[in-house]
Amino acid sequence: KKINTDCDKTDGFVITHGTDTMEETAYFLDLTVKCDKPVVMVGAMRPSTSMSADGPFNLYNAVVTAADKASANRGVLVVMNDTVLDGRDVTKTNTTNVATFKSVNYGPLGYIHNGKIDYQRTPARKHTSDTPFDVSKLNELPKVGIVYNYANASDLPAKALVDAGY
């Protein structure tokens, strides 16, 4: 909601986020943000106490990306490890490697070198601010039940969620 409300007041947005759920948040925002300005998500794989913490430089690169006019109209972007990724296609592929985030099926949108972005492709799906997903009237997000499944699994967990009102 805040991004949609403040879209006309700023040149872009940088959102710091933990990496465990960054891909889900990026996808959700890409579907619900009605703003053509850059929305950049960033995180770190190494703690700030690490000898080679990646957070400060990732944050710098996220600001560079949000400030670049070429980043507009690309949807939500994820910036990590000198790489600009499409928030709709990004996947965390490793729990420890700094190069964990990838757009497996499409590759990165671009790379950041010395404070400049080299965009190499456009997002596979055109971002539009005319999204049918409107969160402006929501005061809270709906509950979402998660069912872990595997071959020959019981239907009991799914039935329990349905019975509980999910």
Listed in sequence order, the residues at least 6 apart from 160 whose beta carbon sits closer than 8 Å to its beta carbon are none
Whole-angstrom distance, CA of residue 68 vs CA of residue 86: 16
Q: Give me the residues paired with residue 102 across strands.
A: 91
Which single residue is written with the structure tokens 């872009």? 12
Strands (E) located in the chain: 13-16, 39-42, 76-80, 83-86, 91-92, 101-102, 110-113, 116-119
Catalytic residue chosen out of the listed positions 19, 25, 122, 131: 19
Give yes or no: 49 in active site: no
- Give the residue numbers annotated as catalytic, written as ranges: 19
